[in-house]
Amino acid sequence: MKTVPYWLDTRPAFTSGAKEPIAGKADVVVIGGGFTGLSCALAVAKKGGDVVLLEADVVGGAASGRNGGQCNTGFFHDYAHAMKRLGRDAARQIYQSYNDAVDTVERIVREEGIDCSFRRVGKLKLAVSPAAFEKFKSSAELINREVDPDVYTVPGSQIHEEIGSDLFHGGMIYPKSAMLHVGRFTVGMAEAAARYGARIHEHTPVVGLTRLDARRYRVETQKGSVEANQVVIATGISAKGPFAYFRRRIVPVGSFVIATGRLDQATVDSVIPKHRTVSVARGLGHYYRISPDNRIIFGGRAQFAVSSPKVDVKGGAILLRSMREIHPQLRDVKIDYCWGGMIEVTRDRFARAGEYKGMYFSLGYSGSGVQEATHMGTILARMIDGEKEANPYRTLSWPPIPGHFGTPWFLPLVDVYYKVKEKFGR
Ligand SMILES: Cc1cc2nc3c(=O)[nH]c(=O)nc-3n(C[C@H](O)[C@H](O)[C@H](O)COP(=O)(O)OP(=O)(O)OC[C@H]3O[C@@H](n4cnc5c(N)ncnc54)[C@H](O)[C@@H]3O)c2cc1C
């Protein structure tokens, strides 16, 4: 079994990294080369802007290359809760931005000719109890009325048309959701941005930022510094560098994924007959789908811990047990890949985007960023052009998380809380 992400192991190398030294000036310096940073750099460069992207490691190597590959419409939150929390207009705007986000991914794939198996398959959310299905029905009605006429429910009597498991009491379908090979997508975006002139430097962590005036900064790395008319922060969990402000507002939570060996067509069809992306909101949550080469990619939080090779293997073993429990037809399949990554979770699990000390940022997608991070990168490019109202998160405040000073010391306690909750079925 390999302990690297399937997406990173099966993607082509990025071959168009910048060769020139880090020096001089740029219109825009983007910090971070995940979905957010790459799509922002691509959008700016495509409009003729002079852009430098600085990535601490390799493009798409953090959350953007370690996720479940689901590219879903709609957000994670219960819609009624979101309306109460955000107000009617902001809830609608943010939900709609997730729908627009899948269109953005599709557009980039088409315009740049990225070979990444993008498919609109629809998302299936599964109810683990009759009460959960009743909640789905009222939620679908509200979503239909407020924002999205396409969402619908499937009753327990028909659920076997959607899923090869006896554990579920119905489901909710988001028909415009999609899936893609995220490793090939990130490299495709990086190659496209470089083609339009973006200078992308891998293995170049930003270590310092010196403000020169309202917007201009000197961005410092150990290989040199560059002066930016505009800085964009796209650093995900922002673990490295001068980003303490963001670290106090984001909790990095481990999430873990396994990929089975290649399965025959009859087996994958028996698990997810319509090949949709699947999510199960039970305990620590599960999400799964079929890969382009017929593997089941099965993820979940599994445990509240920081991802590392040892922890990932432990998480993988927990996931394998869950996968077999849900789908006994997979009891003999072998696992080829097992990995983990860190999800950037905000306190209310809504992303944040805006301006901090003259720099633009978009962060904190809280586990639903394949589409939204890509989309927000393009929104950041529009904000640079003065279109601030394009930002769907512009009305959300973002105070620091009380008691959080940048390292998530409380995760083991949260783990115990969820295990007790699951054990007693609440
Ligand atoms: C295990 C897992 C499963 C997930 N599954 C899904 C899913 O199925 N569907 C979904 O929609 N979302 C999913 N997500 C969430 C999604 O992957 C993220 O929301 C998204 O990738 C965030 O993209 P990003 O560009 O903001 O951040 P990242 O991909 O984390 O990129 C940030 C980049 O910034 C770089 N960086 C940080 N500090 C510095 C510095 N000082 N200098 C230079 N560079 C720096 C990092 O190296 C990194 O490459 C999952 C996440 C995980 C971890």
Query: What's the pLDDT score for residue 404?
Result: 72
Residue 323 lies in a domain: no
Residue 187 lies in a domain: yes
Span of 76-85, 117-126, 222-231, 305-314 with lowest mean pLDDT? 305-314
Contacts with 408 (C-beta within 8 Å, 6 or more apart), sequence order: 251, 252, 253, 306
CATH value at residue 27: 3.50.50.60
Q: How confident is the model at residue 415 (pLDDT cuts 50, 70, 90)?
A: low
Residue 359 lies in a domain: yes
Q: Cβ-count burial of 185 within 10 angstroms (0-12 exposed, 13-18 middle, 19+ buried)?
A: buried
Give the mean pLDDT of the chain.
93
Nearest ligand 1 atom, CA 365: 19
- Distance (angstroms) between ligand 1 centre and the Cα of 361 equals 14
Query: What's the pLDDT score for residue 424?
Result: 47
Residue 138 lies in a domain: no
Span of 92-101, 160-169, 284-293 with lowest mean pLDDT? 284-293
Domain count for the chain: 1
Residue 21 lies in a domain: yes
Residue 262 has pLDDT above 50, yes or no: yes
pLDDT in tens, 116-151: 999 999 999 999 999 999 999 999 999 999 999 999
Residue 19 has pLDDT above 80, yes or no: yes
The closest residue, in CA terms, to atom 3 on ligand 1 is 67
pLDDT in tens, 329-379: 999 999 999 999 999 999 999 999 999 999 999 999 999 999 999 999 999
Q: Which two tokens stand for residue 184?
A: 């090939």
Using most ligand atoms within 8 A of CB, pick from 30, 71, 306, 365 the residue to mutate for ligand 1. 365
Nearest ligand 1 atom, CA 59: 49
Cβ–ligand 1 distance for 377 under 6 Å, the answer: no
What residue numbers bound the domain in which 221 lies?
A: 6-120+179-253+348-390
Query: What's the pLDDT score for residue 116?
Result: 98
- The one-letter code for the residue type at 105 is V
- Distance (angstroms) between ligand 1 centre and the Cα of 41 equals 16
The closest residue, in CA terms, to atom 21 on ligand 1 is 64
Residue 407 lies in a domain: no
- The one-letter code for the residue type at 352 is R
- What are the start-end ranges of the H helices in 348-394? 370-384
Cβ–ligand 1 distance for 315 under 6 Å, the answer: no
Residue whose pair of structure tokens reads 């007790």 in the numeric block: 420
Using most ligand atoms within 8 A of CB, pick from 11, 67, 209 the residue to mutate for ligand 1. 67
Cβ–ligand 1 distance for 353 under 6 Å, the answer: no
Residue 92 lies in a domain: yes
Contact 203, 58 (CB under 8 A): yes
Residue 78 has pLDDT above 50, yes or no: yes
Cβ–ligand 1 distance for 342 under 6 Å, the answer: yes
The closest residue, in CA terms, to atom 50 on ligand 1 is 67
Residue 380 lies in a domain: yes
Which of 106, 360, 318 is closest to 229 using CA atoms? 360
Q: How confident is the model at residue 304 (pLDDT cuts 50, 70, 90)?
A: low
Query: What's the pLDDT score for residue 426?
Result: 37
pTM, two decimals, is 0.95
Average pLDDT over residues 66-80: 94
- Distance (angstroms) between ligand 1 centre and the Cα of 94 equals 19
Query: What's the pLDDT score for residue 244?
Result: 94
Query: What's the pLDDT score for residue 190?
Result: 98
Cβ–ligand 1 distance for 209 under 6 Å, the answer: no
Cβ–ligand 1 distance for 408 under 6 Å, the answer: no
DSSP 201-262: ESS--EEEEEE-SSS-EEEEETTEEEEEEEEEE--TT--SSS-HHHHTT-EEEEEEEEEEPP
Average pLDDT over residues 298-326: 84
Span of 153-162, 181-190, 307-316 with lowest mean pLDDT? 307-316
